[in-house]
Amino acid sequence: MDLNPKKQQLLKALEGKLPQEVILSKSEDCAPYGGDWTRMTGSPLLVFLPKTTEQVALILKNCNELKIPVIPSGGRTGLSGGAVVTANEVVLSLSRMSKISSVDLLGRTVRVQAGAVTEAVHEHCAKEGLLWPIDLASKGTCEVGGNLSTNAGGVRVIRYGMVRKWVSGLQIVTMNGDVIELNRGLEKNNTGYDLIQLMVGAEGTLAVITEATLKLVRLPQKEKVLFFSLPSLEAIKQLFKKARLAPFEILAFEFFSQSCLKAVEKQLNRRSKLDKPGEFYVLMEIELGLGSEPEDLLEQWLVDVLGADFVIDGMWAQSSTERKEIWGLREGITESIALTHEVRKYDVSVAVSQIVEFITEAERLFLSMNLEADLYLFGHFGDGSPHLNIVRRDTIDHKTFVEHCDRFEKELYLLIKKWGGSASSEHGVGLLKKSWVAMAKTPQEMALVKAIKTAFDPNHLLNPGKIFSL
């Protein structure tokens, strides 16, 4: 028999008020909700899977009264440990709240529940020729509530920006059970502090998001996917300069190293169609203007670029299947590396114009430290946001790997500070980047951050220990 007194008290307080299927109490049922993609995991006290906002409010209010901490949970694809259980907290999963309302064509918005899966929102809106322009490799599993709470980026930030630009209304529930509507989907509302923007990127530490009004754009009409092999990082920069001056809009400008391609080829059995390999690869997605002339302009641009000495090989996808195949190489990297290896991931950012110099210095630093590990590079070149993946070699065990990574991390953070960058470009802070926050924010900033936390959640029960410690 489970004798945990808090658990018994909470179950008693909620007795007869919630349908049985909303509560998971057996440890084997709760276990999958204890962790995320970081592979860190813990044991939840209980898991709640509410279906309505009223149920969310009831659960939070009772947890608040009993002083039981709560972790909001989405698709658990997070890469910084934001949804990880660390001390037997209650998990509140929004996954069963996944309704998507009909698209408001005039307002170009859609109202969704927080548990709607990102890709399901895309599919729903595509029927109306519209798009919620948040695109990331985890889109088949991550949820809108998680995207908003991490201020997710993804592969189209260069064109559309981060998630925070694409929301105009939120319904939130605070720890004391209050249900609050923020901004009501208004496009214009200049009445002081913007609480929506406080919620975006708060990683579930201020309130639980239950619904959102998402802003939409027209689906790109004439997309093309181009793929290049290149000899060096400097060559990527030259290609990027050419693309910035080209007569088309860049939707994505992604890069990855040869080691990443090899991992995807080996683990997922996908193949590059380029004849000549390179040290690096670039996937570029663009949107042409309408009419027939833009195709000719693109062709001319491509001939010009393929003739330049900084490009080894290149192609342009001729069909939607080929487009998917090329994207499959980029989108399979995180999964391929994680399938067989232990990985420490650094999702960092610097000014776009400095990305090559920064990566070169970070690579030099990594090599100079003689770690028993390999460096896999990929990411969002066009946003100044590379992902540095440190992969353990079989010659060392887990404990030694952690020590090596910790040593590297200290030096890397100093380097990022020197370049005026950020140690979390898009994955959030969660548990993994807390030391960066402590290092990068001034005491005055931290005091304000903590005051905001206390205003929303006076008992400090919502996702405690994430982003910062109180």
Ligand X SMILES: Cc1cc2nc3c(=O)[nH]c(=O)nc-3n(C[C@H](O)[C@H](O)[C@H](O)COP(=O)(O)OP(=O)(O)OC[C@H]3O[C@@H](n4cnc5c(N)ncnc54)[C@H](O)[C@@H]3O)c2cc1C
Residue 422 engages ligand X in binding (rule: CB under 6 A):
no
Q: What is the H or E stretch that residue 138 is in?
A: none
Q: Rounded CA gap, 80 and 404, in Å?
A: 19
Q: Rounded CA gap, 33 and 27, in Å?
A: 10
Least distance to ligand X from the beta carbon of 82, Å? 3
Residue 136 engages ligand X in binding (rule: CB under 6 A):
yes
Bridging pattern class, strands 90-93 and 130-131 = unpaired
Largest CA distance in the chain: 74
Among 355, 463, 464, 465, the residue binding ligand X under the rule CB under 6 A is 463
Q: Rounded CA gap, 388 and 402, in Å?
A: 15
Among 159, 237, 427, 453, the residue binding ligand X under the rule CB under 6 A is 427
Comparing C-alpha atoms, which of 71, 75, 78 is closest to residue 428? 78
Point out the residue whose Cβ comes nearest to ligand X.
146
Between 136 and 236, whose beta carbon lies closer to ligand X?
A: 136
Bridging pattern class, strands 23-24 and 47-48 = antiparallel
Between 133 and 154, whose beta carbon lies closer to ligand X?
A: 154
Least distance to ligand X from the beta carbon of 322, Å? 22
How many residues touch ligand X under the rule CB under 6 A: the total is: 39
- List Cα–Cα distances, 101 to 113, 125, 200, 209, 451, in angstroms: 9, 10, 21, 17, 36
Between 168 and 174, whose beta carbon lies closer to ligand X?
A: 174
Among 55, 64, 138, 257, the residue binding ligand X under the rule CB under 6 A is 138
Q: Considering only residues 69 through 98, tell me which ones interact with ligand X, judged by CB under 6 A.
A: 71-79, 82-83, 94
Q: What is the H or E stretch that residue 204 is in?
A: none
Query: What is the per-residue binding string for ligand X in 331-370, x denoting contact by CB under 6 A?
Result: ---xx-----------------------------------
Q: Rounded CA gap, 309 and 230, in Å?
A: 9
Comparing C-alpha atoms, which of 233, 258, 250 is closest to residue 286? 250
Residue 313 engages ligand X in binding (rule: CB under 6 A):
no
Between 44 and 314, whose beta carbon lies closer to ligand X?
A: 44
Between 50 and 314, whose beta carbon lies closer to ligand X?
A: 50
Residue 386 engages ligand X in binding (rule: CB under 6 A):
no
Residues 97 and 50: beta-carbon distance below 8 Å:
yes
Comparing C-alpha atoms, which of 117, 124, 169 is closest to residue 146? 117
Residue 53 engages ligand X in binding (rule: CB under 6 A):
no
Between 202 and 302, whose beta carbon lies closer to ligand X?
A: 202
Q: What is the H or E stretch that residue 380 is in?
A: strand 373-380
Comparing C-alpha atoms, which of 34, 92, 29, 82 is closest to residue 61? 92
Bridging pattern class, strands 70-73 and 90-93 = parallel
Between 204 and 421, whose beta carbon lies closer to ligand X?
A: 204
Tokens of 279: 């040290």
Least distance to ligand X from the beta carbon of 327, Å? 12
Least distance to ligand X from the beta carbon of 201, Å? 9
- List Cα–Cα distances, 96 to 44, 82, 200, in angstroms: 18, 20, 21
Between 136 and 312, whose beta carbon lies closer to ligand X?
A: 136
Segment contacting ligand X by CB under 6 A, of 134-142, 240-248, 249-257, 415-423: 134-142
Least distance to ligand X from the beta carbon of 287, Å? 19
Least distance to ligand X from the beta carbon of 181, Å? 15
Q: Considering only residues 173 through 232, tell me which ones interact with ligand X, judged by CB under 6 A.
A: 203-204, 208-209
Tokens of 415: 């380097």
Residues 375 and 389: beta-carbon distance below 8 Å:
yes
Residue 429 engages ligand X in binding (rule: CB under 6 A):
no
Q: Rounded CA gap, 182 and 204, in Å?
A: 16
Q: Considering only residues 221 through 280, tell me which ones interact with ligand X, judged by CB under 6 A.
A: none
Q: Rounded CA gap, 66 and 5, in Å?
A: 11
Residue 283 engages ligand X in binding (rule: CB under 6 A):
no
Segment contacting ligand X by CB under 6 A, of 139-147, 253-261, 268-276, 408-416: 139-147
Residue 171 engages ligand X in binding (rule: CB under 6 A):
no
Segment contacting ligand X by CB under 6 A, of 47-55, 144-152, 305-313, 392-400: 144-152
Enumerate binding residues for ligand X (CB under 6 A): 36-37, 71-79, 82-83, 94, 114, 136-138, 142-143, 145-147, 149-150, 152-154, 203-204, 208-209, 334-335, 426-427, 430, 463, 466
